[in-house]
Amino acid sequence: MRYRDLGTTGLSVSVLGFGASTLGNVFGKVGASSGERAVRHSVDRGINLFDVSPYYGIT
């Protein structure tokens, strides 16, 4: 995974992010075990940027 500095915060974030609003059942029911597997899979592959905004995709 590649990382980039997040401004001047001293944090380094993955160039790929995980859009996690679906884990809050925004677009439909997501089981806890499915959500946990998805997050663990992402972290295991180096993703450390998680976007949890519930507002994407709502019309």
Q: What is the pLDDT of residue 48?
A: 98
Distance CA 14, CA 6 (A): 10
Distance CA 59, CA 49 (A): 25
Q: State the CB neighbour count (10 A cutoff) for residue 11.
A: 12
Distance CA 21, CA 24 (A): 6
Catalytic residues: 56
Whole-model pTM?
A: 0.81
Q: What is the pLDDT of residue 59?
A: 65
Following CA atoms 11, 48, 53, 9 in sequence, which dihedral angle do they give, to the nearest 10 degrees? 0
Q: Tens of pLDDT along 12-53?
A: 999 999 999 888 888 889 999 999 999 999 999 999 999 988
